[in-house]
A and B are shown apart, each in its own frame.
Chain A
Amino acid sequence: MAKIRCALIGSGNIGTDLIYKLRRSDVLEPVWMVGIDPDSEGLKRAAGMGLKTTAEGVDGLLPHVLADNIQIAFDATSAYVHAENSRKLNALGVMMIDLTPAAIGPLCVPPVNLKQHTAKLEMNVNMISCAGQATIPIVHAVSRIQSVEYAEIVATLASKSVGPGTRANLDEFTYTTSDALVAVGGARRGKALAVINPAEPPMIMRNTVYCLTDDEPDEARIIASVREMIGEVQKYVPGYRLVNGPVFDGKRVAVFLEVAGLGDYLPTYAGNLDIMTAAATRTAEMFAEEILAGSLKLPTPQEA
């Protein structure tokens, strides 16, 4: 079966893990890895896995986009350079999956709103953050039952799984995730908290979701909705698991989750890495299926 050819921009933890995820896909093929440091581990590993590589940033990729028929790119660089990367690649007809906190395109959480984005032929969709991918489905699972006045999430990540980009830009992570609890989760207000824990052996990613409902929570319906949603996420992140809850305290609903990864690039504790790359892959696959079926045509490239 034909596959849609993809470029990965950013050779850090996320970009490298994406190689493994894409190689497992029936409809996606990783072709290019773009970095900025010729000596980086990520570029060497990508080359070793058979990808074409450039250390000259996105500009090193642009001359090859048409010849190599690149149709989807994943950007795992930083919020600061994403807009420029996206503009250059969109101009060549390449659809962009944004894994930075830039969020210039619509926010995407696959089990909540992916279908809307494919229907609209969005050329840039944003994957929010690992914490957003892990918690927004649950906020949505509550808000689709009854209105949520406030949603708050706490994501705890193993220190070894958090790369330098996230560390240097924690505020962007906080803002993007908080906004998405509202925009995608359906709460009226949202707040995201992140904790980085250095324990050895590293702890598996944990997420706690709190929702304050406007009226007394309908416990039975919320429990059923949350369980159904967990099943949806497990379709692309098998290690997504309910540890405790939902527990109810007045109008507060609390759900305690754990996310184990597949152990592709980083060990299984780095569920934060997996839920981001798996969600991005799931998103790209949905677009790819539409492209392959002919129901979605990417715009004709303009010369950059």
Chain B
Amino acid sequence: MSFPNLKGRKVLIHDMCLRDGMHAKREQISLDQMVKLASALDEAGVPMLQVTHGAGLGGNSIQHGFAPHTNEAYISAVAGVVKRATISVLLIPGLGTMRELDSAYNCGARSVHVATHCTEADTAQQHIAHGRKLGMDTSGFLMMSHLNSPEGLVAQGKLMESYGAQTIYVTDSAGYMLPDDVTARVSALRDALKPETEIGFHGHHNLGMGIANSIAAIAAGASRIDASVAGLGAGAGNTPLEVFVAVCERMGLETGCDLFGLMDMAEDIVVPMMDHMVRVTREALTLGFAGVYSTFLLHAKRAETRYGVPARDILVELGRKKMIGGQEDMIEDTALTMAKARGIKVSHAA
């Protein structure tokens, strides 16, 4: 790959530690930790940071786990300490609602990723329009983008643009995409969308491609990149933010972020708070290789413990059954069905 003309291009970095990172922490990030992370990000010049339950607004549930605090409490706490950064939230229609978006706005959120599966953009019409009505910086976030063709993704992106989305994201929720997959999708969107509509890329590092895919996205016309300090995020984590900033500096891309400050934050704050090293483990690699939603990782490991079916086998089966984000209930269901088929005695099962 050769990227001759990126020098001087501006990249808007959007941190995911405090949202996608919640997945890696089983939603257990304290208010103090949130505030500490947000202050450090703000000080290091990261312009946007996302704060919510891992599954976004409305995420507190049996299905997705309960955080120790409400989204409102987290957003308000972070809003109280950041001086420069814009606070964003995630809203997945079917889980989060416009009432919750109002409430997030009232607590200080000014940007929203409205997320749908990559073929279901028309479930986001009312939420995208509502984000705009509130005056929020509003993005359409097409999850599991590898499951739609470049042409198909263009059609979905154009729908979101028509509802009012100012940025359209190619979202590699499974960490499955390779740089050519990213280039094909981002270029197709760049050609089809209005010039003022921005394109974003949200990567997961399950195949170790977070940085390379993000650079490919920029080369193809993206201007916003989601990343996470020390990669704190679902699966093998998001594109590691400090590494990405270092690569941008080497390539002459302008991020406005303080590299050394971010390196210190990764090493001194984020890594010590991890419950497990966020890295390409056997199961995370399975996600990337099989194209499975990254958030399923820890749920599958819990099901392994409870029902005696290996997490890798469960993840492969979920991929085969084409389960998508939000179907975490099907992890336990699939484990129960597999345990029955394998003659494993499940205590408590009827």
- A-to-B contact residues, CB < 8 Å: 150, 152, 154, 156, 159, 164, 167-171, 174-175, 191, 193-200, 203, 206, 208, 210, 212, 219, 223, 243-249, 252, 254, 256
Contact = CB atoms under 8 A, between A and B. Distances in A.
Given A171-B126, A191-B61, A208-B329, A196 B94 contact: yes
B327 A195 contact: yes
A245 B93 CA distance: 28
Nearest to A178: B97
A174 B97 CA distance: 8
Interface in B51-107: 58, 61-63, 93-95, 97-99
B14 interface: no
A292 to B, nearest CB: 41
The majority secondary structure among interface residues of chain A is: strand
A219 B337 CA distance: 20
B329 A196 contact: no
A164 B322 CA distance: 23
Contacts of B125: 167-168
A254 B303 CA distance: 14
Nearest to A157: B94
Give 4 nearest A-B pairs by CB, closest first.
A199-B322, A208-B329, A195-B326, A194-B94
Contacts of A252: 62
A193 B93 contact: no
Interface in B113-169: 117, 119-120, 122-123, 125-127, 147
A212 to B, nearest CB: 7
A134 to B, nearest CB: 13
B222 interface: no
A193 B61 contact: yes
14 contacts: A152-B63, A154-B329, A164-B122, A167-B122, A170-B94, A193-B326, A196-B120, A197-B322, A198-B119, A198-B120, A206-B333, A243-B337, A244-B349, A247-B348
Most buried by B among A193, A210, A246, A256: A193
B63 A159 contact: no
A247 B329 contact: no
Interface of B: 58, 61-63, 93-95, 97-99, 117, 119-120, 122-123, 125-127, 147, 306, 321-327, 329-330, 332-333, 336-337, 346, 348-350
Contacts of B117: 196-198
Contacts of B350: 223, 245-247
A247 B336 contact: yes
Contacts of A195: 94, 324-327
B336 A245 contact: yes
Contacts of B99: 171
Contact of B332 (A194, A198, A254): A254
B97 A243 contact: no
B293 to A, nearest CB: 11
Given A167-B122, A170-B93, A197 B329 contact: no
Contacts of A223: 350
Contacts of B94: 170, 174, 193-196
A170 B321 CA distance: 25
Nearest to A212: B62
